[in-house]
Amino acid sequence: MLADANNTNVNTRHDDDRVNLAGTIVELGFIVAASTLFNMFPDKVGFVRSLAEPDSFTPLLAPQFQLHLPLLNLYWGLGFSLGVANLFTQRWTLVTRCIQVALDTLGVLVLIELVLGGPLTIYGWLDLALKFGLAVAIIPAIIDAFRNLAHLLDGQENGVCRPG
């Protein structure tokens, strides 16, 4: 009975290294969509006040939003690369877990930059609401970063994460 419990625990622990393929594909799709929208069509981010009048389109992004794109592009690029690597390996490795921790840290820095940086939208009230939401999102992002760091360190101690 004890041997079965240990084998189950080891197998369960080993399954923690499996990559959620569907989730990774969805995440890659969101990265491509967001990076394409904000880099190629930032003037199309907005709303139409009246469907009867197509000229009633109002853009939302402030011109200063472009200043955030280099850091956002770095984050999206690294996230996309990690997702592709995970699709190929289909398992978390020591290297991909280290990259995830670095990406989590960069994600927190991106959120801080968006909150403290220039305006995101042309509407002050909307900008304030977005920045408040992003500021609140910093807390779970930090928790997630520490959780991934703990998982990385725990895996190294138990020999679960093996390179390549």
Query: Who has greater pLDDT, 1 or 94?
Result: 94
The whole-number average pLDDT for the span 109-128 is 95
Contact 160, 15 (CB under 8 A): no
The whole-number average pLDDT for the span 102-116 is 97
Average pLDDT, the chain: 86
Task: Give the model's pLDDT for residue 51.
Answer: 79
Whose CA is closest to 35, among 22, 45, 50?
Answer: 45
Task: Give the model's pLDDT for residue 37.
Answer: 95
**What whole-number distance in Å separates Cα of residue 22 and Cα of residue 86?**
11
Task: Give the model's pLDDT for residue 53.
Answer: 81
- Its pTM stands at 0.80
